[in-house]
Structure 1
Amino acid sequence: MQFLVKMFRNNMRQYGMLVALALIMILFQILSDGILLRPLNVTNLILQNSYILVLAIGMVLVIIAGHIDLSVGSVAAFVGAVSGIMMVNWSMPFWLAVIVSLALGALIGAWQGFWVAYVRIPSFIVTLAGMLMFRGLTMLVLKGQSIGPFPETFRNISSGFLPDPLGNGELHLMSIAIGLGLSLILIWNEWRIRKTDLGYQFDVAPIGIFAAKVAAMVLVLNIFIYVLARYEGIPNILIILFFLILIYTFITNKTVIGRHVYALGGNDKAASLSGVKTKRVSLYVFINMGVLAALAGLIFAARLNAATPKAGVNFELDAIAASFIGGASMSGGVGTVVGAIIGGLVMGVMNNGMSLIGLGIDWQQGIKGLVLLLAVAFDIYNRNKAS
């Protein structure tokens, strides 16, 4: 029992948000008469929030580094517009258009990162200017009109599903098989981590608690996969998100550049004196954000099947909210990719659940604002308590 209390206290923010997510899902499952967790709605929940989750991954790194990016919604809209021109008007192959679009996002990120890192203009001002500039460029290149439809191969990025050569149409057996495979990998990875910690004589959970934790993770994973398998199976976008989470979790936890991002946000002067090239790290963070904003713009355009001047509105607010709700700190140096994903899911489930029970957009905005305020207040409380 003592170990459980210590474990929860050391990971209070992340476990707290997991508990909050579970409680929110249970609440809306009851209020919506069971609609929330139906296979069709769960799939739609993933598809509807995929681009926000992609943005949240990039945004949490920006916030960890001590910056902010208000331009991501406009950048996503601009890249989506350019991709529409390339694929629809110019008949460019979709794969080439995607590569060019991601490169454009990197260029935009480098442009904004240069002003922040080397000219020392605050990121709030630079990205506010970028938000206005790229929104204007979006309307300019589209001439106030939408462009579509996109090729089917491109639309499958956002609305397609994993094929099922094993299934009979009633249950997506390929998804079930993938879920079982992921379960084995999860068990092996958790055991490997435990064995490594024991080798370094770190504190580890008793074997009973460890087994219960792994069993709970495997159970949740397979229930989730089973729900998806009852509809069309695993969406393509979920596979993209899965690999993004793996890659960026590895970068933040296991690489030098990841440690440098945390050091920059924790104390930029101390990081500089320790040999961290702080300007270069800031530049890299914004380049990465530009690429992920471009990817989010492509995903949104593929889902909408059109590039529109109004795309990306308020995307930046949702991504920032997801990062803060998921545990990122206003002062920088604190946050995780998994936390940002959890925060994004909290926002997504709340949006979907409130829509299902018929709450108007006015109530939805007010409640989301209150949740964000409470999340930041909780962060400040924890920091004051620690100091």
Structure 2
Amino acid sequence: MVSDPELDGFRRDHYFSRSWALLTRDRGWIKPVLVMTVALLVPIVGVLGVLGYALEWARLTAWNVNAAPKQRGVDVGGCIKSGWRGFLVMLVWGILSAIVVGVATVLPIVGALVSLVWFFVSFFFAVVVMVAALRATIYQRFGAGMRASTIWQMVSHDPGGLLRVVGINVIGGALAGVVTMFVVMVGLAGAVPHLVWYLTYLYDFGTVMSDSAGAMLALQLLASVLASLGPALVVVLLVDGLVGTILLMVSYTAVALWMRQFDVPNWGRDEDPLPPFVTDPRDDAPVPGAGAPGQAAPQEEPVEHPQLMAVPGEPCEPRPEDVAGEVPVAEKDDPVVPEDPVCAEKDDSVADDEGPVTEERH
């Protein structure tokens, strides 16, 4: 069990256990997960909505709000919008990486080595893209997810933390693969008797069968196997959807917990430098100039956030009671104050198109 103090602020480890603790924080947590599993069956829109739900909940977590996913009153349109934004960020980064790697792999001598290295690096790069998508969600602006210099500054500061998230994805994906293989093998076991019968029939009478009869027999075999595998395929689809949804939410929340060390509430405009990094409160010594351990260095001229409204150049702090509702709207290049979070229990956030946005539960 993870205690409440361990969920507060930034800690450099236990990303999975803390993400899981946040996911299962409220009773009935499985309900939204099941709804999202079913939503994945809806082409395009369903997938975008699930992605946006995970991003919006992770956005709230990055703002240092410990809230469980919202179970009622979810702003479906806001989730789809956030999912679309996140998808575009992933798509662009994916295309750029494909071009670079594609050019490198055709180079003589080093091409094969590049392919091998990229196979392993791609797992880490996928998590870096998650950081970019979450940053775009925090600002509620696509461009924020494409600011390579800031994203690189974050990644280079603590690559080890992101490797922990990579481990969550790899292990979770491997477990999902094992479950899928088991279910498929059970389904194939039911199809084996049909397969043996048809193969035996073909062996005994194949020499006297016409081509049309052989084709008919093959179709009958295919239909019989599919009928036997049908229930197993449905189970695989649902199990993979359930595991994939949980893994998606836990992974993005883990990225959000990692991102807390960059003091998201004190972020300014998208192009502004990052504030002093936050350290783990268990560290003996604080980062020079960062104040007490676990605390961000005080700003020379702190900016107040009256009524939690967005202040030019700085994001507004979300209210703990706001966890999911409407997507906040922020002014251009300014953080947005979440007033009705999309994925948490009480969400009141509206961010303009170009500023960090705070929000509540998803």
Question: Structure 2 length as normaliser, TM-score?
Answer: 0.29
* Higher helix proportion (structure 1 or 2): 1
Query: Which protein shows a greater Rg?
Result: 2
Q: Which has the higher contact order (CA 8 A, sep 6+)?
A: 1
